[in-house]
Amino acid sequence: MRMTLRKILGVMVTLGTLSSFLASAAVAGNLIVSVSNKKGESLENAVVMLTPQFTLSTPVVAADSPEMRQEGALFSPFVLPVKVGTKVSFPNFDEFRHHVYSFSKTKRFELRLYGKDETNFITFEKPGIVALGCNIHDNMLSYIYVTEAPIMKKTDANGTATLTDLEPGQYKMEIWHPGVKRKGMPTPKIITIADGNRSESGQLDLRRVWGIQTQPAEGQY
Amino acid sequence: MAMRFQSKLTLVYLALFLVVQGVVILSINRYVTENVREQIAGQLDASSRTIARLIRDRNDILGTRAQDLSKDFGFRQAVATLDDATIKSALANLIDRSDLDIAFVVDLDGQLIGSVGDMAVTDNATLLSDELIEAAEEQGVAARFIESNGELFEVVIAPVFAPVTIGWVGLGFQLDREIAIEFKELSPVAIDVAFIFGDKGQPELSAATTNVQDLAEFLAENPQVGLETEYESVFVDQDYMFRRVPLVSEFSQGRQMDALVYYSVDVGLQAFQSLIVTLLSILVVGLLLLILGSVAVSRGVTRPLRYIANAADRISRGEYIKVDAPSEDIEFARLSNSFNHMIEGIRDREASIRYHANHDIDTGLPNRNWFEEQISPSIDTKKPFSIAILELQGIADMRTVLTHDHINELVRSIAERLETVNVQYLARLSTETFVFAQFGEDDDDISAAMIINGFIDPFSAGTVMVDVRAFMGLTKFPADGDNLTTLLRRANAALDTSRTSAKSYAWYDRERDTAKQDHLSMMSDLRDGIKNEEVKFAYQPKLDLSTGKIASAEALVRWISPTRGFVAPDDFIPLAEKTGDVRYLTDWALKEAISQIAKWRGDGIDIMVAVNLSTNDLMNTNLPGAVLTLLTEYSVPPSSLKLEVTESAVMNDMSRALDVLNMLSSMGVVLSIDDYGTGYSSLSYIKELPVREIKIDKSFILKLAEDDEDKILVRSTIELAHNLGMEVTAEGVEDEQSVDLLREYGCDTLQGYHICRPVPVEEFEAFLKSHKENSQNI
Ligand SMILES: [Cu+2]
């Protein structure tokens, strides 16, 4: 009788796992988020973050060593969202040196003059904004947004971020943008993802002037 | 006010010179002043622009400094890491290097991270307005002026990038005296500079290149300086021009802040003071030269004039001495020549005038004037003498047979004969009279008789010998008068007496003269009496026998003098006729009668009024015109006026009287012959007169009832008159029998006490009324 019970339990667990596996495999939702400013203009480089309010059947695997490249006297990408604890690489593709620094409280660091094909790594342990600059090139500016949310996506040029294969359930949705007013972050929103597509939109109150990366002056480098 | 020609000439030159110079100096002064003012205005404008540019330049420099600082990696790091010590040292370093007054850094929340300089300013919470920050974000730098505790600052802020904005760095300098002086030195001219601020009503001073206290007081008194762009007023006793340069930035506080540039017009004019001094010197020197010159010139003019003036003075004293004026100038030579001619002319004319003044033109004999001159020394010395006026008779008649020259010759020959007798100062007094004096021991009457006897022989008058008769009146000095006028008048009175004297001469008789004087004074009283309404009319009604009505009245003059009492018409009317005063009486009588007629006509009383005319009136050819004027003036028809004249009056000069009477008659005035029967009483001549009526004198009527001769005369007269187409009035009707007789004879009108005595106007009117009632009763 005891065997039977364990088996039954095991079967039940297996079944449960299986059923959930089967469910995740078979049932998934998509979220399309459109981000705009107060004027209704689409916002590129907005970061849409989802924090599941349940335990995911399959944990999201964080990207390994995302890059913050220095190329053509520009940072690329302009906005890089990463999960807490991510190690970001800073490869230099330019013929000249850069002196990347951050005075942000989230992560204060300085990569003193390093040349081509030299790659540095920085791990971001705390959530928050890290504004990156180059002491040599004043035009260079980029943001690393460190978040605890497991799922994140930047909006494209149309201001749209499409998050696919989401396990149905409740999520907390947050949106950030480098130009957002210091106290202008929209309040997080709880949304329910079900099978199929779902659309959300978010509106951000931006500062009139905010730091963007500009092209280096012609022939400057 | 008399003034010497010399002074006048000098004054005129002076006035002209002063006016011209005054105009020149005034216009130069005006030109200079305007020019200087324009220049100063231009300089102030230029300085205003310079200061505005200097401030802008400082802004730019400040902005560059702030941007440079914010880009410094170490500074960014220090700000990012809130490294106070590093920040402060970086700011202090910059202040020293750039000659700034304040520098500060604030974080994004506006919290001051570090500052150097005036804490009062950097701690100022209003320093960084949202607008300023936004502008700095957009443009990389922004500037503003602020006022803190009466000090003005210019502040520039720039963001600190790390690489995004993590705070703001601000740099500033104070607009203090030092800056003002710097502005002043950089300005094209040494204009003064001040910085003011404050509400529009009352600007306050922050700093100035001039004395701060003076300017602060000036601002307190001239708050308009803070409002007007251009202003001008007296400041420290000088005329100052002001320009206000607003210290404007988009982000200034509400308070107004200005730079003030100002410059003294007086100082600007100082450069021209030497010019004015030169001009005034020219004026003074010119004035002196002019005075000297004009004195010299006018001396030359007035010297000969003074000669002539002296000569004129001599002439006025009767000294006809020729002028010997210096004759360098042609004008003056001619003037003195003319003057000498004039002196000759005057001398000749004076002699001629003197001769004519003392001589009779016709005969060349001395005249009364000469006589007066001769006799007056004797009067002055009280030397006794007698004066005689000798009148030649018939000289006027001789003019019909003798020529003027012959008569003159006659007069001269009479004078010659008189001079053979012991007479002195013989002179012709008038055409027919001589006057002379006699001094001497001879018996007066013998001397007088001798003179008269001298006329027994005829006198020669040209080719004929003429008999001349003479009368002579004599007066004695001093017994008969102490002056010549009185003596001559009394000699004339004596002459009057002599005409009726057998001796043909008479001495002045004081008593006789007194009566005459009384007559003269009576005439004087009469003239006054007419004016003072002492003379009035009494009206005597005349009864028209055919109708039994009173249709007319005779106006009789009554004079009651306040001093003489009632004066009988017979006492003054003949006298007035003699003296000619009757014309005043006639003037009055005509006016009074005609106005009374008019009054009665107005009251509905239609009465013809008769007025008596004198002999003189009939000789007066102006009388008809005067009557017509009065009739027209009072709108009285001529038929209401009757004029009564006496036969003797008409006979005096019949042809002239006829002229007057014909004119009166043709005007329609009724004429009547008064007192008929007392004179010539010839109806044959009366029929030639334009008279409508005769009035039979009362002497024929008074005793008509008793005297048969009167009856015949009256009766025949009435018949004759009626035959000649004339009416008859009987005067002096005093009893009923006379009335009956006259009615029987066919007399037309009765007048007399039996009808009514002459009565005053009111009584006359009453009589008319009662008579009318009585006649109606009958
Ligand atoms: Cu670089």
Using the predicted structure, report yes or no on whether residue B204 has a pLDDT greater than 80.
yes
* Residues B241 and B265 sit within 8 Å (Cβ to Cβ): yes
Decide if A180 touches B, using CB distance below 8 A: no
Domain boundary (B251, B282, B313) is at B282
User: Which among B101, B80, B103 has a CA at the least distance from the CA of B90?
Assistant: B103
Q: What share of chain B in percent tops pLDDT 90?
A: 14
Distances (CA, A) of B449 to B416, B443, B446, B482, B512: 17, 10, 5, 25, 22
Q: Render pLDDT for B345-387 as a digit per residue (tens, 0 to 9).
A: 888 888 888 888 888 888 888 888 888 888 888 888 888 888 8
pLDDT of residue B486: 86
**pLDDT of B69 above 70:** yes
Most confident range, picked from B329-343, B460-474, B585-599, B645-659: B585-599
**Structural domains counted in chain B:** 3
Most confident of A169-178, B1-10, B18-27, B514-523: A169-178
Q: What is the predicted ipTM?
A: 0.74
Helix, strand, coil distribution of chain A in percent, nearest 5: 10, 45, 45
CA distance B161 to chain A (A): 9
Residue A123, pLDDT > 60, answer: yes
Residue B2 has pLDDT above 70, yes or no: no
Could you give the 3-state DSSP secondary structure of residue B342? helix
Structure-model confidence comparison of residues A55 and B130, the more confident one: A55
- Whether B350 maps to a domain, the answer reads no
Per-residue pLDDT tens digits for B439-486: 876 667 888 888 888 888 888 887 788 888 889 998 988 888 888 888
- How close B190 gets to chain A, by Cα (Å)? 46
Q: Region B71-99: what's the mean pLDDT?
A: 85
What whole-number percentage of chain B has pLDDT above 70?
A: 95
**What is the DSSP secondary-structure string of B210-232?**
S-HHHHHHHHHH-GGGGT-SEEE
| Separation of CA A145 and ligand 1 centre (Å) | 20
pLDDT for residue B112: 82
- Residue B305 lies inside a defined structural domain of this protein: no
Contact residues, chain A, for B162 at CB < 8 Å: 103, 131, 133
Are B455 and B573 members of one domain? no
Strand-pairing partners, residue B245, are B259
Range of the domain at B75: 34-282
Q: Is residue B296 part of a domain?
A: no
**Residue B651, SS3 per DSSP:** helix
Residues comprising chain B, all counted: 778
Q: Are B699 and B745 within one domain?
A: yes
pLDDT of amino acid A12: 41
Does A135 contact chain B (CB < 8 Å)? yes
- Give the CATH number for residue B278: 3.30.450.20
CB contact under 8 Å between A103 and B81, yes or no, is yes
Hey, is the C-beta of A183 within 8 angstroms of any chain B C-beta?
A: no
Q: Which residue of B has its CA nearest to A135?
A: B73
DSSP state of B199: -
- Residue for token pair 């989230």: A106
What distance in Å separates the CA atoms of residue B73 and residue B80, rounded to the nearest whole number?
10
Instruction: Give the A:B interface size as CB pairs under 8 Å.
Output: 39
Residue A166, min C-alpha distance to chain B (Å): 35
pLDDT of A23 above 50:
no
Indicate the pLDDT class of residue B91, thresholds 50, 70 and 90: confident
Per-residue model confidence (pLDDT) at position B553: 93
Q: Give mean pLDDT, residues B155-164.
A: 85
How long a stretch of residues is chain A?
221
Judgement on whether residues B477 and B585 belong to the same structural domain of the protein: no
Rounded to the nearest angstrom, the distance between the alpha carbon of B83 and the centre of ligand 1 is 25
Are both B673 and B772 inside the same structural domain?
yes
pLDDT in tens, B170-190: 888 888 888 888 888 887 778
The answer to whether residue B419 is domain-embedded is yes
The CATH homologous superfamily of the domain defined by A27-54+64-204: Cupredoxins -  blue copper proteins (2.60.40.420)
Query: In this complex, is the C-beta atom of A141 within 8 Å of any C-beta atom belonging to chain B?
Result: yes
Same domain for B255 and B399, yes or no, is no
Question: Is the Cβ of A181 closer than 8 Å to some Cβ of chain B?
Answer: no
- What pLDDT was estimated at residue B48? 86
Task: Kindly state whether residue B376 falls inside one of the protein's structural domains.
Answer: yes
pLDDT of residue B521: 82
What is the model's pLDDT at position B6?
A: 67
* Cβ atoms < 10 Å from Cβ of B316: 8
Check if the beta carbon of residue B257 is closer than 8 Å to that of residue B52: no
Q: Which of A103, A106, A141, A177 to mutate to test the interface with B (most CBs of B within 10 A)?
A: A103
Arithmetic mean of pLDDT, B122-138 = 74
Question: Is the Cβ of A211 closer than 8 Å to some Cβ of chain B?
Answer: yes
Q: What is the pLDDT of residues B222-271, one digit of tens each?
A: 888 888 888 888 888 888 888 888 887 655 556 678 888 888 888 878 77
Nearest CA in chain B to A142: B163
Q: Is B81 helix (H, G, I), strand (E, B) or coil?
A: coil
Cβ within 8 Å, pair B164-A134: no
Confidence of residue B126 (pLDDT cuts 50, 70, 90): low
Are A103 and B134 a contacting pair at CB < 8 A? Answer: no
Q: Indicate whether B601 and B495 sit together in one domain.
A: no
User: Residue A20 pLDDT > 60, yes or no?
Assistant: no
Mean pLDDT value across residues B524-552: 90
pLDDT tens for B298-313 read 777 777 777 777 877 8
Contact residues, chain A, for B137 at CB < 8 Å: 208-209
Which residue type, as a one-letter code, is found at position B584?
A: Y
Final residue in a domain of this structure, among B254, B282, B310: B282
Question: Domain residues of chain A, as ranges?
Answer: 27-54+64-204
A5: tokens are 């019970």
Give the CATH number of the domain where residue B380 resides: 3.30.70.270
> What is the average per-residue pLDDT within A133-140?
87
At residue A4, does pLDDT exceed 60? no
Cβ separation A210–B71 shorter than 8 A: no
Considering the domain boundaries, does residue B308 fall inside one? Answer: no
Using a CB-CB cut-off of 8 Å, the residues of chain B touching A133 are: 161-164
The verdict on residue B597 lying in a domain is yes
Q: Is there a contact between B163 and A132 if contact means CB atoms under 8 Å apart?
A: yes
Please identify, among B463, B492, B508, the residue that sits at the C-terminal boundary of a domain. Answer: B508
A172 falls in which pLDDT band (50, 70, 90)? very high
State how far the Cα of B279 lies from the Cα of B270, in Å rounded to an integer. Answer: 15
Confidence band for A13, pLDDT divided at 50, 70 and 90: very low
Tally of CA atoms within 13 A in the half-sphere of B102 that contains its CB:
28
User: Which of B139, B164, B166, B168 is most worth mutating to test chain A (most A CB atoms within 10 A of its CB)?
Assistant: B164
Mean pLDDT score across all residues of chain B: 84
- Please name the residue that has the structure tokens 């802008």: B56
Q: For residue B328, is it within any domain? A: no
Q: Residue A1: which pLDDT band, with cuts at 50, 70 and 90?
A: very low
Distance (Å, rounded) from C-alpha A151 to C-alpha A62? 9
- Please tell me whether residues B551 and B663 are part of one structural domain: yes
